[in-house]
Amino acid sequence: MKRSHFGVMARLIGLVRPLTGYMMLAILMGLTGHLCAAFITIFGGFALLDVLGLPAMIGAGAAFVCMIAFSAVRAGLRYGEQACNHFIAFRLLALIRDHVFGALRRLCPAKLEGRDRGNLISVITSDIELLEVFYAHTISPVAIAVLFSTIMVGFIGNIHPLLGLLAAIAYAAVGIAIPLMISRASGEDGARFRRKSGELSGFVLSSLRGLNEIIQYGQGNARLEEMRRQTDALASDEERMKRIAGRNVAVTNSAILLFDLAMLLAAATLGQAGTIGFEGVLIAVLALMSSFGPVVALANLGSTLQSTFAAGNRVLDILDESPVVEDVTGQEEIAFTGAEADQVSFAYDDAQILSDVSVEIPKGAIIGVNGRSGSGKSTLLRLMMRFWRVQRGEIRISGRQIDAVNTADLRKMQSFVMQDTHLFHDSIAENLRIAKPDATQEELEVACRKASVHDFIMGLPKGYETLVAELGDSLSGGERQRIGLARAFLHDADMLLLDEPTSNLDSLNEAVILRSIREERADRTVVLVSHRKSTMGICDRTYSVEHGRVS
């Protein structure tokens, strides 16, 4: 979704609300610190006037004492301001990551299927990290610059209103006009850079995952060349952004020099006319020259905020995206007494997958769903898990429409084994305990025996504490599939949904697992999806799905 910079800024600022006290403290310390820094130079001017024997607000000795004191205070306040800003920034980054992970959980699986994983990783890591610039170096500096400039305009205007007006124009030009000009010059560079960065992350991630295939088919040089092409394009965009940032610094420094000269000329003219004395000329010029710090900080944000707003926009896109299925809470708990699909129809976009499908699943039965690949068997299981919403018809659990069943209760009632089992980079025991975090070692072994994988695990160097490689690459497809089945047995749900549970297994292991499934029927209801007719042999009733219809 395309949002204006002001829209993104307003949303990001809104997230600061829980830490408003810290933000006010940072602004107060920053404002006081910058005033101390500016008045160190002004006190130097007072000391010079006193030495020259001209009228001065305070004597040279007192001025030097104030300069030393203000230097010490300035250092402490600067540290305090930065500490507060970074505390706010990193606390908010943690909160934003929590919100993003929560949003991804709500969107999964329907809205995340087919999404570029590398791009999502880029949002979660580098895009959120870029928001640190906004929270630590933007919000309080803007407030400080406005308050500080107002005070300094009043101070210089007290010498002469015309000089105060000139100071106001100088601050507005450096702190507002130049950043807006640079921002417009940057155009869509920031958004394009973040998008290309995400695409490069996705390309690298897919290349690492498919490294064996790349080597096998001799595509290493082609993939490397494409990676170089994307990297060069990204570097070219970054070079253009850095060039604009360099121009920003040059324009800002030139503007400051011109306004300093303008103040000197204006003050000298008023001095020659006798409107103000030499002391007024000196203090006005020194006050302006020493007070550009806060607005320069804003000017430097003109180019860097392009990337920050682009990153913020990508993060907000995830937070604002509506899930296909919302979690259900607050409904009365129910016990599992069976399930059914009644005249269910479902389509992905324009592709019709299921049409008027009806399936009865009595408690304690083993129901088979047979059919060719792509016929809609797996989709039916996902609808029973409420991963997607039924578009027409109804799925009922214990006689209740599935959208009226608490999501937490539904997850307790069901175990779902998909064709591809994902294993985390952790021990086999911890991978199993995802299904039941407090499972004992004995429970792990019972579940693994049912899945015909216990003997294999015990043959590993560290048994159940053996570390699984990333994405489970240290195990074969059949071994991963049996661990997935063991998870389902360990979860001990009333309804076991199995999607091609023996597709990667030999006939011996298939027979062991089918026997385990048959023995589980006393405690569970099983829905078994498979294209193998041998697997359907244990089923009480078999439905055949062809072209989205059941026979």
Q: pLDDT, tens digit, for every residue of 403-444?
A: 898 888 888 888 888 877 888 888 889 989 988 889 999 999
Number of continuous H segments (helices) and E segments (strands) in the chain: 21, 10
Characterize the bridge pairing of strands 541-546 and 366-371.
parallel
Task: For residue range 307-351, list pLDDT tens digits in order.
Answer: 777 777 788 888 888 777 888 888 888 888 888 988 888 887 777
For 7-320, CATH number?
1.20.1560.10
Is the pLDDT confidence value at 47 over 70?
Answer: yes
Residue scoring higher pLDDT (303 or 331):
331
Q: Which residues of 434-467 are buried (b: 16+ CB within 10 A; e: fewer)?
A: ebbeebeeebbbbbbebbbbbebbeeeeeebeee
Encode pLDDT of 98-112 as tens digits: 888 888 888 777 766
In the chain, % of residues over pLDDT 70: 92
Amino acid at 388: W
Encode pLDDT of 445-493 as tens digits.
998 988 888 988 999 888 999 888 766 667 877 788 888 888 988 888 8
**Residue 32 confidence (pLDDT):** 93
What DSSP string runs through 485-543?
HHHHHHHT-SEEEEESTTTTS-HHHHHHHHHHHHHGGGT-EEEEEES-TTGGGG-SEEE
**pLDDT, tens digit, 9 for 90 and up, residues 183-218:** 676 666 666 777 787 778 778 877 877 777 788 778
**pLDDT above 80: residue 281:** yes
Give the residue carrying structure tokens 């400051």.
Answer: 256
In terms of pLDDT, which residue wins out, 516 or 163?
163
Could you tell me the residue ranges of all domains in the chain? 7-320, 338-550
User: Mean pLDDT across the stretch 10-24?
Assistant: 80
Determine the pLDDT at residue 302.
Answer: 59
Coil/strand/helix, residue 134: helix
Mean pLDDT of 487-502: 85
Confidence tier at 266 by pLDDT (50, 70, 90): very high
How would residue 97 be classed by pLDDT, with cut points 50, 70 and 90? confident
The least confident of 206-210, 227-231, 292-296 is 206-210
Average pLDDT taken over every residue of the chain: 83
In sequence order, the β-bridge partners of residue 302 are none
CATH 3.40.50.300 holds for 338-550:
yes
pLDDT confidence bin for 166, thresholds 50/70/90: very high
Task: Give the pLDDT score at 263.
Answer: 92
